[in-house]
Amino acid sequence: MAFNSAVITFPGSNCDRDMAVALEKVSGTAPHRVWHGDSDLPAGLDFIAVPGGFSYGDYLRCGAIASRSPIMQAVIAAAEKGVPVLGVCNGFQVLTESGLLPGALLRNAGLNFVCREVGLEVVNAQSLFTSAYEAGQVVRIPVAHHDGNYFADEDTLNRLEGEGRVAFRYAEEVNGSARAIAGVLNDAGNVLGMMPHPERAIEATHGGTDGRGLFESAIRGLVGA
């Protein structure tokens, strides 16, 4: 069975092609490319990716305007029906702004743009997105963001930790994120937001393959099901 996925593009997205290439290379099937102004998603999707970039030039707040784009109502509806949604970097910001994930992404501690490969600990290896990894495994994934400092109140942080919804944690200081959180899941486990870019770590010739496991996890779990 072919893997049926879609990548959303907003004005200012700059990682949508990288995401599309990653999905095609790992799954063997090119994803649908969906424009932010569309009101409907392709039928029968197995997976939706909200990519990185600077949607709407990060005007107001990163992801704030994109979260109100027409297509996001369809993404929210699909997520509520159980369709897996991955938001990376600016995509993570869009998912928090749209209410699909808790918390917010603030300016990095030190107010610097961070662009480098970082160590990332796999905290939950039992999710749809992380089953190819081992709990406690440290992978190397690139980051490139100015507003990746994850914030939530203490009750929310405790709930995320207690419910196993912290998917990834930074293994080094990167941006000041609360409890070094790099990626979180929604309560149903079908929505993941993360600041690091797994789509940039799928080929050895581009520096590493540690991000490939995330896509392999989802494809194996969905196509196998």
Give the span between the Cα atoms of 80 and 171, in whole angstroms. Answer: 32
Angle at 162 between CA 156 and CA 179, to 5 degrees: 60
Phi-psi region of 145 (alpha: psi -120 to 50; beta: other; left: phi over 0): beta
Query: Which residues are designated catalytic?
Result: 89, 197, 199
User: For residue 166, which of 217, 203, 220, 129 has the smallest C-alpha distance?
Assistant: 129
Helix/strand/coil for 169 = strand
Q: Computed over its alpha carbons, how large is the radius of gyration of the chain? A: 16
* The two structure tokens encoding residue 158: 């405790």
CB 42 within 8 A of CB 30: no
Give the span between the Cα atoms of 114 and 102, in whole angstroms. Answer: 23
